[in-house]
Structure 1
Amino acid sequence: MAAALRRALSAAVAVALLAAPSASADSWLYEKFTTDGHVRADYNAQGQQVTSLILDRQSGGAFYSRQKYLYGVFSIQMKLIHGNSAGTVTSFYLTSGDGPGHDEIDLFIRSFRRHADLPYPGGKPMSVHATLWDGSFWATRQGEVKVDWAAAPFVVSYRGYSADACTPDGEGRPLRCPTGTDRWMSRQLDAAEWGTVAWARKNYMHYNYCEDGWRFPQGFPAECSRN
């Protein structure tokens, strides 16, 4: 009887251990973000939490942070759509909103220097966004290249999100900053990091708005000649 009870308890513990990751797989996502559309949270074979955005004919997907930030370091790993992804747009960025004059920082392969005579993100708190949507009208010259819906659903996966950043208090002042802010507040890219940026541009950058004359027939934005 005692042996049978031990076997039953061992089996119950094993089941509980196997079930635990699935039960808590969405905690990282839903604790820090609000979701919209097709979003899935799961664990991969290595036991790492993965959040996926899914695009089909009915809807895309997005998640955006509950917290807003003013300054900081943000990081995430993304696995992009395999194969032909023409017309789909996925991103990871900071934005203060959608209206005219909003601030936005797209977190890819670029270091933007501040110039006194050029627009630059100011004191508007921004939230972290990740999106996947049918952007063929925007991305392929008013839909010149259509999304291949036969290949749907399209999936982009994210893991390893971290934010080491200052958050606004009340109306944006004062700031609440993590300990050791000086390690990144005035940091500049070193030679090796500039080399990584150049490598990424050469091998992975397929679009640069500073080369898109179709989008800017009256001339490129002023920063294009500076950076």
Structure 2
Amino acid sequence: MAAPAGARLLACCLSALTTMAAVSLAVAAGGGVRMTDEVDILWGPTQLINGSDGDQTVGLSLDRVMGSGFKAKKSYLFARIDIDIKLVAGNSAGTVTTVYLISEGQWKIHDEIDLEFLGNVTGEPYTLHTNIFANGSGGREVQYRLWFDPTQDFHTYSILWNSDQILILVDDIAIRRFKNHWDAGVPFPVYQPMRLNGVLWDAEDWATQGGRVKTDWSQAPFTAYFRNYRATGCEPSGVAWACGQDPSGGDWADGGAAGLDDVRQQQQLREAQERYTIYDYCTDSVRFPDGGFPKECGLP
């Protein structure tokens, strides 16, 4: 495999070959989405709720026996992913509702972008736990308290992933950005397609208040609801690097098109850092003593 810096240069030379990469619009925004047209149910107790306008909601449930999950039918190399989620209500301690992008090759070099919603006791807030793996390397956790109750209604959670950076958004508000600093020696997911998965599972040993609060199985089954999965991205076919060079691809193909230097978005990221962030690996001096933070923590 060529070094990513060289590969990005090669991609520029391959821009004329972008027709060899199939650009897929999984669903048009605003239309009724039948979830089972876009995802496959993998295991566990699930519900399918059909709406009057043709949309469909998937309910993933967790009981003492097992959780449940789905995965998208299509994988992408760079994409904008949006999905609406209504989290487990009431005493959700010990439960984790997760949506994540993950590659499907060798685990030791896998790429992954995680959004994990850590349940809590009734009346206490959820924690949104985010993490990014590149080339098998993770440990990039940032956690947030949301500014609303995510159990009362559906909210939209989004991942924008292109060759320049990863952006995580909540209701179209940017909360986290992870830039591509591969040229500085920081791994970044640039060559492996990834697929969306959704899972509801039990993690009582660590999920709630550090594992001090366990799952109350008398409240089971626990159910989280998912709808309106939308994916706009590139399905690589032949020349994978062409995915980063399609001029019609929009923000998933070209970081400059995403408005990521927009003043409003910069303000959103600052506000998320100042008001809603409860843990950031880049400021954890106990985990990284003597200033030994990961390289990306000191890069702009």
What is the TM-score normalised by the length of structure 2? Answer: 0.56
TM-aligned CA distance change 1:223 to 1:123, over 3 Å = same
Letter in 1 for 2:203: G
Matched, 1:64 2:71: yes
Aligned residue number for residue 263 of structure 2: 191
Larger radius of gyration: 1
Letter in 1 for 2:179: R
Letter in 1 for 2:224: V
Q: Is the CA contact (8 Å cut-off) linking 1:165 and 1:177 kept in structure 2?
A: no
Aligned residue number for residue 23 of structure 1: none
Aligned residue number for residue 248 of structure 2: 180
Q: Is the CA contact (8 Å cut-off) linking 1:167 and 1:176 kept in structure 2?
A: no
State which of 98, 104, 107 in structure 1 corresponds to 2:112: 104
**Residues 28-47 of structure 1: matches in 2 within 5 Å?**
28-35=34-41, 36-43=43-50
| Separation in structure 2 between the aligned mates of residue 64 and residue 54 of structure 1, nearest angstrom | 15
**Residues 88-167 of structure 1: matches in 2 within 5 Å?**
88-97=95-104, 99-106=107-114, 107=159, 108=168, 109-115=175-181, 116=183, 117-140=185-208, 143-167=211-235
Q: CA deviation at 1:180?
A: 2.4
3-state SS, counterpart of residue 176 of structure 2: coil
3-state SS, counterpart of residue 121 of structure 1: coil
Aligned residues: 200
Q: Is the CA contact (8 Å cut-off) linking 1:166 and 1:177 kept in structure 2?
A: no
Q: Is the CA contact (8 Å cut-off) linking 2:72 and 2:196 kept in structure 1?
A: yes
TM-aligned CA distance change 1:65 to 1:198, over 3 Å = same
TM-aligned CA distance change 1:210 to 1:146, over 3 Å = farther
| Separation in structure 1 between the aligned mates of residue 244 and residue 178 of structure 2, nearest angstrom | 25
TM-aligned CA distance change 1:120 to 1:99, over 3 Å = same
TM-aligned CA distance change 1:79 to 1:141, over 3 Å = closer
Aligned residue number for residue 21 of structure 1: none
Q: Is the CA contact (8 Å cut-off) linking 2:103 and 2:111 kept in structure 1?
A: yes
Aligned residue number for residue 58 of structure 2: 51
| Separation in structure 2 between the aligned mates of residue 44 and residue 213 of structure 1, nearest angstrom | 49
| Separation in structure 2 between the aligned mates of residue 163 and residue 57 of structure 1, nearest angstrom | 33
Matched, 1:223 2:289: no
Q: CA deviation at 1:63?
A: 0.6
Q: CA deviation at 1:152?
A: 1.7
TM-aligned CA distance change 1:176 to 1:204, over 3 Å = closer
Please give the root-mean-square deviation of Cα atoms over the aligned residues, in Å.
3.4
Letter in 2 for 1:223: E
Letter in 1 for 2:176: R
Q: Is the CA contact (8 Å cut-off) linking 2:80 and 2:251 kept in structure 1?
A: no
Aligned residue number for residue 85 of structure 2: 78
The more displaced of 136-145 and 119-128 is 136-145
| Separation in structure 2 between the aligned mates of residue 202 and residue 50 of structure 1, nearest angstrom | 34
Q: Which has the higher contact order (CA 8 A, sep 6+)?
A: 2
Q: CA deviation at 1:213?
A: 7.4
| Separation in structure 1 between the aligned mates of residue 53 and residue 277 of structure 2, nearest angstrom | 29
| Separation in structure 2 between the aligned mates of residue 207 and residue 110 of structure 1, nearest angstrom | 12
Aligned residue number for residue 19 of structure 1: none
| Separation in structure 1 between the aligned mates of residue 86 and residue 178 of structure 2, nearest angstrom | 25
